[in-house]
Amino acid sequence: MKKMVIGNVAGFFLLSGLLSGCAVLDPPEDKPTSEDLNDLVVTEVHYHPFAVDSNLVDEYEFIEIHNKGEKDISLDNIEIADGITFKFISGTKIKSGEYLVVASNANEFEKRYKFKPYGEYSGKLKNSGERVAFNDLNSQKDFIIIDYKDFAPWPVEADGDGYSMVPVSDATYDDYSNGALWRKSFTIDGSPGKHDPGPVYINEIIAHTDPPKEDAIELYNPNDFSVDISGWFLSDSKVDPMKNKIPKNTVMEAKGFKVFYSKHFDDSTLQNPFGLSENGEEVYLFSDSLGRDYSDGFSFDATDNGVAYGRYINSASEVKYCTLKDPTLGEENSEPMMSEIVITEIMYHQLDGKYEYIEIKNIGSQTVPLFDQNNPHNTWKIRGFGAQFPQDVSIESGEVVLITNDTVPEEKFRAAYDNVPEGVKIFSVAGVKLSNSGEKLSLMAPVKPDSGSDKVYYKEIESVEYEDDGLWSNLADGNGSSLVRKNLDQFADNPKNWKAGDPTPGIDKR
């Protein structure tokens, strides 16, 4: 009996020691990171720099951190892991408001940026994207995780074009792995060691106006601070920046708008008069005359008289450019203009024995001719797919039609998808093919041709840019499913409005 007591006591002390050694009373997974680390943020990542000497490309990589709080932050026991590795020197503190840079090659960094980085990390940042994590060794927790990619919605200009990537705003620090919350740096090579100047966006345009109304370009400053854009340029050509110089003393107030009309550039010395083409072209804002520093802009197709076209952020935080429901110059943009002819289903990567197709539907109350009634040989088309509708085709209210490749006889298509209703029209088009890796599909309608011209211009009815990964279900990427639109009366170009579903060509089961 005495031996049992002694044995139990010894066992108790042995178990206590083991539990203490394993930190069971305060396990790492239950220990929070320091609240001070909430104010430590990553403000710039340069993962694929540009260099004339291709051997030096990786040597110019860097990551920048910033203390956005009001007190110093200790970096003791903080390390960067996964893609690269780096441990901060014991006793290091980053002061309030300070920026600190760790680089791939300290010597090459100093040659380019004229100051020494804090330190040099091991490894290289992958150009194709990878995971980078900041770990608090005290709590054994990652408190910053950046899982970046080299494709949209991540800023593609950061992938070898010379730009770094920076968060869109201070409000985006909580979701580092959302590419839509990053932008390209203001200038080529980035701005290590300091705040990156905020962007100014071309927000809305009106390119088709009849006198006395004028074409207009609206700029928007999304920052919490003003931006002086004096001496910047507006141009209708990405390769020709110096068309219209913005006047002196032009300051964009924080969260402010500014609209430019031709009267702002009424200068006889200008080689090119201000104006946008109603048949479609480009529109760009440049911060310098060479177009090498900051720029923003987009291309657009033909527009109807008085109709606005501009920037829209969908519910997946992606920036899209589309026709807007209403002109709102000087104010926040309206919702996108919705179409009565809509893309409803996309089979882009079919299984063996099946065939790809696009399904469209008329959700309006009237029959819509898929051609210019005054010029019936000018028919609608689907850009991206390369499909041109034949002449004299109309789509009735509620009607669903299919477009596929002409290498597939209609009887074979119907046999492959035995649920296609007998009355559904199938248009077989020569040479068309959908990309298995994703692409932008745009439903396009011809506009009235210019007098004396045979050239046909098109306006965009609606578009969708699908992908085979990311926010788009991979079940539609060769796994038997098609992409099915959820809500036909909501914006098409949004991955959250699409799902993977059983192929139902010609049938609307919503």
- Decide whether 30-184 matches 201-323 in CATH topology: yes
C-alpha to C-alpha distance for 327 and 2, rounded to whole angstroms: 92
pLDDT surpasses 90 at 17:
no
pLDDT surpasses 80 at 166:
yes
pLDDT surpasses 50 at 14:
no
Look over the chain and give the mean of its residue pLDDT values, rounded to a whole number. 89
pLDDT surpasses 70 at 431:
yes
Q: If you count DSSP H runs as helices and E runs as strands, how many of each does the chain have, helices first?
A: 3, 37
pLDDT surpasses 60 at 6:
no
Stated pTM of the model: 0.77
Q: What is the pLDDT of residues 376-388, one digit of tens each?
A: 999 999 999 999 9
Identify the band that residue 266 occupies on the pLDDT scale cut at 50, 70 and 90: low
The predicted pLDDT at position 271 comes to: 53
431: DSSP letter: T
Identify the band that residue 172 occupies on the pLDDT scale cut at 50, 70 and 90: low
pLDDT, mean of residues 318-344:
97
DSSP 178-236: -GGGEEE-SSTT--TTSPPPPP-EEEEEE----TTS--EEEEE--SSS-EE-TT-EEES
30: DSSP letter: G
Identify the band that residue 102 occupies on the pLDDT scale cut at 50, 70 and 90: very high
Q: Are strands 357-362 and 400-405 parallel, antiparallel or unpaired?
A: antiparallel
Q: Which two tokens stand for residue 393?
A: 């085709």
Class of the CATH domain delimited by 201-323 = mainly beta
pLDDT surpasses 90 at 243:
no
Distances in Å between the Cα of 349 and the Cα atoms of 352, 357, 479 are: 10, 9, 8
Strand order in the sheet with 387-388: 387-388, 381-383, 438-446, 458-467
pLDDT, mean of residues 29-43:
86
Q: Are 400 and 415 in contact (CB under 8 A)?
A: no
Q: What is the pLDDT of residues 465-490, one digit of tens each?
A: 999 988 999 999 999 999 999 999 99
Residue 259 amino acid letter: V
pLDDT surpasses 60 at 150:
yes
CATH number of 30-184: 2.60.40.1260
C-alpha to C-alpha distance for 356 and 85, rounded to whole angstroms: 46
pLDDT, mean of residues 251-264:
91
The domain spans of the chain are 30-184, 201-323, 341-501
pLDDT surpasses 60 at 309:
yes
The predicted pLDDT at position 272 comes to: 56
The predicted pLDDT at position 427 comes to: 95
pLDDT, mean of residues 10-27:
39
Q: Are strands 119-120 and 99-103 parallel, antiparallel or unpaired?
A: parallel
- Buried/exposed 430-447: b ≥16 CB within 10 Å, e otherwise: eebebeeebbebbbbbbb
